[in-house]
Amino acid sequence: MSTETIRKPDWLKIQLNTTDNFRYLKRLMREERLNTVCEEARCPNIHECWGEHKTATFMILGDTCTRRCRFCAVKTGLPGAVDVREPERVAESVRKMDLRHVVITMVNRDDLKDGGASLVAATVLAIREEAPTCTVEVLTSDFLGNDASIRTVMDSKPAIMSHNLETVRRLTRQVRSRSDYDRSLRVLAVARQIDPGSVTKSSLMLGLGESLREVEESMDDLLHHGVSILNLGQYLQPTRTHLPVQRYWSPEEFDRLGETALRKGFAHCDSGPLVRSSYHAGAGYEEYRRKMHPLYRDQE
């Protein structure tokens, strides 16, 4: 990989819009002592999601990850003790925010026997109890491939089970710490095997040196393992110590990739420079339901 800094194109310039909703959500997160991947991972869409759509992605199990992936801004180290009341506090916040769809993600917790799966499941169940009309999406680690942990999460019946492939096969070892391309695919397949009616989702970052052919091969791999929803976005270097951007894919290229994904067989694909794992997650799930479940249209 080249270490040269490539100038960021104009289409990646973000206009900040700090609205009352944004300030309210930020205050609520601090009051409830909650973490969001929106802040920890320096998501470029935070002002849009918090300010305009009043949505957020909660990051549970602390703010410290046991892995050191070379693309990720979340801090690495020895995590603290698990907060068993976190599911309750997240659920209360979801109710206060009156969310229709929420994403629950997590730091990697390789220090825990179940990888944190029991707390993920407890959070899904707590939200369902506190805010029964809200659909819940989980974005989990690979749990080191532990089938029992995957089953624990799937038994809580999230609306979407998401796990990110992040990059193409060739670049996985350079980009992802203690992760394996085929293990990630297997996590998604096992989730579908446990609950054949479930919806699985994954995301890829572009700009790390992958080729178009490799991106399309990853699409095929995900489809082969039962994934229905795909997000494609541009990798942005969080700090100088992280992997540098090798290429900026243009908006037109992202549009073509999105069309390719749908043509190949994905039920839904968000594809664009600023798209992230949970980008417009609620709208994407609604479109999936309309497309895949005809009875849902009759209820609208």
**Is residue 210 scored above 90 in pLDDT?**
yes
73 pLDDT exceeds 90?
Answer: no
Q: Which of 131, 194, 188, 179 is nearest to 161 (CA)?
A: 188
Higher pLDDT, 275 or 40: 275
Is 48's pLDDT higher than 60?
no
183 vs 189: CA distance, rounded Å: 10
pLDDT at residue 298 above 50? no
pLDDT of residue 240: 87
Q: What is the pLDDT of residue 187?
A: 98
- Answer with the residue of higher pLDDT: 237 or 283: 237
41: confidence class by pLDDT, cuts 50, 70, 90: very low
Tokens of 166: 């992040």
Band of the pLDDT at 20, cuts 50, 70, 90? low
Residue 14: the pLDDT is 56
On the question of pLDDT at 300 being above 50, the answer is no
- Residue 284, token pair as written in the block: 């994407």
**DSSP-assigned letters across all residues of 133-177:** T-EEEEE---GGG-HHHHHHHHTT--SEEE---BS-GGGHHHHST
CA distances (Å), origin 149, targets 51, 194, 212 = 35, 11, 34
Over residues 168-202, the pLDDT tens digits come to: 999 999 999 999 999 999 999 999 999 998 999 99
CA pair distance 284, 199, nearest whole angstrom: 12
Query: What was the pLDDT predicted at 287?
Result: 83
Closest CA to 163 of 122, 210, 215, 222: 222
Q: Please say if the pLDDT value at position 139 is more than 50.
A: yes
Q: What is the pLDDT of residue 286?
A: 80
Confidence of residue 292 (pLDDT cuts 50, 70, 90): confident
How far apart, in whole angstroms, are the C-alpha atoms of residue 89 and residue 249? 39
- Which residues lie closer than 8 Å to 293 by C-beta, 6 or more apart? none
pLDDT higher than 90, residue 71: no
Q: Is the pLDDT of residue 40 over 50?
A: no
- Inform me whether the pLDDT recorded for 51 exceeds 50: no
* Choice between 269 and 7, residue whose per-residue pLDDT is larger: 269
CATH code, 15-298: 3.20.20.70
Q: What does the alpha-carbon distance between residue 184 and residue 168 come to, in Å, rounded to a whole number?
A: 11
CA-atom Rg of the chain in angstroms: 18
Q: What pTM value is reported for the model? A: 0.85
Q: What is the C-alpha separation between 266 and 285, in angstroms, rounded? A: 13
Q: Give me the mean pLDDT over the 81-91 stretch.
A: 94
Q: What is the rounded distance in angstroms from the CA atom of residue 155 to the CA atom of residue 160?
A: 12
Rounded to whole angstroms, how far apart are CA atoms 219 and 150? 22
Tens of pLDDT, residues 98-127? 788 899 999 999 999 999 999 999 999 999
At residue 162, the pLDDT reads 97
